[in-house]
A and B are shown apart, each in its own frame.
Chain A
Amino acid sequence: MKSDISKLHENVTWQEITPGTSIIGSGTSAHFNTGDWRVDTPCFDESKCKQCLLCIPVCPDSSIPVQASKRLDFDFDHCKGCGICAKVCPFDAIIMKAGEK
């Protein structure tokens, strides 16, 4: 049975927590804003992007949404600002800027 993520909040009781704190089911990080702080922030320049999609698989936090084979702007609820996407981009379409935004 899938874990009910809504019940695993910070006030969960010991009776309600899952054995081994295992989470049954996938994609649950969508429910958590893990990108609430960053040191640097990637900026996406759509005009330079050739949609090669090299940035997609290297993102450790799956924070680059793709729709109809095209990448969209970053999911800043989950981006940690690591900068790997900027490093891998052959077209300078991703520039890292200092700060959280």
Chain B
Amino acid sequence: MAIRDKLSGNEAVSVAIKQINPDVMAAFPITPSTEIPQYVASYIANGDIDTVFVPVESEHSAMSATIAASAAGARALTATSSCGLALMWEELYIAASDRLPIVLALVNRALSGPININADHSDAMGARDAGWLQIFAENNQEAYDNFIQAFRIAEHSKILLPVMTCQDGFITSHAVENISLLEDEKVKAFVGKYEPENYLLNEKQPMAVGPYAVSSYYMESKRLQAQAMADSKEIILQVAKEFEALSGRSYGFFEEYKIEDAEYAVVIMGSAAGAAKDAVDLLRTQGKKVGLIKVRVFRPFPAEELAAALKNVKAIAIMDRAESFSGHAGPLAAELRAALFNAKLTPDAISYIYGLGGRDVRVEDMQAVYTSLEAGDFKCIDIPYRYLGVRE
């Protein structure tokens, strides 16, 4: 029987960590993810788990220590937000290129500046090309569920790539919601024992991790890494299927919400999908053919699958909770437009920047987006992208 509880998103992820009892956690506090290492440290102090906690002096060191632990053969993780993730930048690439199955609990927060502690996706988007899988949660339940699935995906022998689980700072990390937890032993059995094939502390088989690769080797190494990322799509779905059998909760690359007969669609990631779904429900009662896609997996990007799900819509609003300063689209919009182009689909696809630095997104805001889609009051060519909820 599932356990009903009321937890914040941070506590939900921490409970998942407790149930998994990983070997090493190295972390440095930063709002709004600070509670995760705090909870884990208290579980360790109370003797609930025997994870080794490494208190470090910065996030650069947090990721370095996590990489070292993982290379040594430990199941290792960290948690961070915003500038903390930015300070890990160099190490993020190394974790991925060394093919270390680390899990990072990211609590999304705006990057400075101006300095701001609230939710947006600029931190995760800054790391999108680092070679990590990125899985986004809408609510506390998904934050918990995604974290439990993360190690299974990362550690799969065909993948061996780090995974970043993302949830929106404060909106889900600090808000308490009803949640359905799995029993400890079920989580343990699902995640399983970590038995890496090769690791530095294996005295029977020494190895070299992260050797220098001259130009005769670097490109082949990157191509192999790209293949692992492409192959991870199959494993993400496989793990989700097993998780569904365990929990009754179904996950894919994205969630389709009333999209089947929709003419106007919103594509969005993270917590604001909730307000957008309410807007869909309201507009549906007025007979409007509107739907939504909530992207769960941003890396690897489910390009063909998204294009297929959107093949019948007339217009799409692609919502980005991060600027990309390209002058023509947010990061999700740029990727999705490319996917549509490859699929030879040409709906109007407007890029909306919304919710930066924790700007609230209300149901009315999302209704307005659908209304402008329906009215066709934009042309990509004239206004390639626009801001939602900015004062003008």
Contacts and interface: CB of A to CB of B under 8 A. Distances in A.
Nearest to B208: A23
A14 B198 contact: no
B221 interface: yes
B213 interface: yes
B217 A19 contact: no
Given A17-B217, A19-B99, A20-B97, A25 B224 contact: no
Given A15-B224, A21-B211, A10 B205 contact: no
Interface in A32-79: none
Contacts of A14: 219-221, 223-224, 227
Interface residues of B, number: 24
- Identify which of A24, A26, A28 gathers the most chain B CB atoms within 10 Å of its CB: A24
A18 to B, nearest CB: 8
Interface of chain A, helix or strand or loop or mixed?
loop
Interface string B180-211: 00000000000000000010000001111111
Nearest to B227: A14
Contact of B220 (A12, A20, A23, A28): A12
A2 interface: yes
B255 interface: no
B217 A21 contact: yes
Nearest to B97: A20
A19 B160 contact: yes
A24 B211 CA distance: 11
Contact of A19 (B205, B206, B208, B224): B224
A20 B223 contact: no
Contacts of B224: 14-15, 17, 19
B228 interface: yes
B217 A2 contact: no
Contacts of A23: 207-208, 211
A13 B220 CA distance: 6
A25 B207 contact: yes
B207 A19 contact: no
B209 A22 contact: yes
Contacts of B206: 25-26
Contacts of A20: 97-100, 160, 209-210, 221
10 contacts: A13-B220, A14-B221, A15-B224, A17-B220, A19-B160, A19-B224, A21-B211, A22-B207, A23-B208, A25-B207
